[in-house]
Amino acid sequence: MHLNNSTQVSTLNRALGITLATFSMFVVGYTASRVFLAQADSTTVITELVTPHQASMWSDLAR
């Protein structure tokens, strides 16, 4: 007869532990990435890129 004691871990418990650890690492990594990107966006100056009309680019040559 084989009895399980507290030091023996079943395969299901091990699989659940690995799944929980993997999910936790994903959540922590995702949250850290979002916080880092949010900080980078708030310090960046947003500039609009406006492409001038073709005629205005050639106007300097006509002078």
Taking only the tens place, the pLDDT of each residue in 2-42 is 666 656 778 889 999 999 999 999 999 999 988 888 876 55
What angle is formed at CA 27 by the lines to CA 22 and CA 32, rounded to 5 degrees? 125
Taking 80 as the threshold, does the pLDDT of residue 55 lie above it?
no
Position 19 scores a pLDDT of 96
What angle is formed at CA 34 by the lines to CA 24 and CA 47, rounded to 5 degrees? 170
pTM of the predicted model as reported, rounded to 2 decimal places: 0.50
Domain membership flag for residue 2: no
Position 30 scores a pLDDT of 92
For the four alpha carbons of 50, 53, 54 and 57, in that order, the dihedral sign comes to negative
Domain membership flag for residue 42: yes
Domain membership flag for residue 4: no
Position 25 scores a pLDDT of 95
Give the domain extent around 38. 11-62
Domain membership flag for residue 40: yes
Domain membership flag for residue 26: yes
**Which pLDDT band holds residue 63 (cuts at 50, 70, 90)?**
low
Domain count, the chain: 1
